[in-house]
Amino acid sequence: MHPTKRAVLVLEDGTIYQGRSFGYEGSVSGEVVFNTAMTGYPESLTDPSYEGQILVTTFPQLGNYGVPPADGDTFLKHYYEGSRIHCRAIIAQDYAFHHSHWLAERSLASWLKEEKIPGLYDIDTRALTKHLRQHGSMLGKIIVEGCQDVDFYDPNAENLIAKTSCKDVMVFDSLEKAPVALADSKPCDDGKKTVVLVDCGIKHNIIRCLLRRNVRVVRVPWNYDFNTIAYDGLFISNGPGNPDFAGATVENIRKAMETGKPMRYLHGQPTPCKSCGSQDVQAQIRT
């Protein structure tokens, strides 16, 4: 038996789920959502789309294959989707205290404790997921035994796009080379196409996939006017939070639409739609 503290998940509608803590021992709040993936918790935890959210995994066990290495100082982490854990906490039905995988560098619990992210297990995640499916994603908070209570936190009231986006324009020429600042980059004279990637909370794998297709990627912040850059294609990334905060992105996309250049978008399609004057309505269930 592993000594663990009791903890509870309290939903904003008053529903309470009893469990135990296996991560950082601290109380936290956020929007409670669920994920149906059977594997890939390192990728999910580091996905910027989960910024401000408490992630519930429907697959019954978590932690059985540990955590892969973080690739040292490499900018694009091979096994992660971001440079840090973005979700506020993670919840599973069962936690494997003994992991086994040839690539594992440490346990999931030790990683969560290092980044101060609570983890809960011994919770009926099937019942919790059905509750969220019936009533929609809702705010919640985790209170760990011996820790202070916290107020509910609504991540959709904050500009999470700005929080997770990059701060500077960076140019990626290949997976083998580190990115450089736009001012330090050399003109592209090898025939490569240039894709401007608007970072609204980008997954690292999107950059990796683009680079494998032999294109030059210019990654720009969410509010950067990319129309000042010469490019062949435009890619608007996915990301977290309320797209109503992406006013600057919408305005820049509106100007780009007039050029007729190829455009690809992932941010739930709201930013291009808003550029055309449409309004968006948030789905009841978020995963």
Intra-chain end-to-end CA distance of the chain, in Å: 33
Query: Who's near 129: CB < 8 A, 6+ residues apart?
Result: 34, 56, 58
pLDDT of residue 76: 83
For residue range 51-90, what is the model confidence (pLDDT) as tens digits?
999 999 999 999 999 999 987 556 788 889 999 999 999 9
Which single residue is written with the structure tokens 């789920």? Answer: 17
Position 70 scores a pLDDT of 84
Question: Residue 1 above 50 pLDDT?
Answer: yes
**Percentage with pLDDT > 90 across the chain:** 72
- pLDDT value at 159 more than 90: yes
pTM of the model: 0.89
How do residues 112-154 score in pLDDT, each as one tens digit? 999 999 999 999 999 999 999 999 889 999 999 999 999 999 9
So what's the pLDDT on residue 51?
Answer: 97
Q: What is the pLDDT of residues 186-231, one digit of tens each?
A: 776 677 899 999 999 999 999 999 999 999 999 999 999 999 999 9
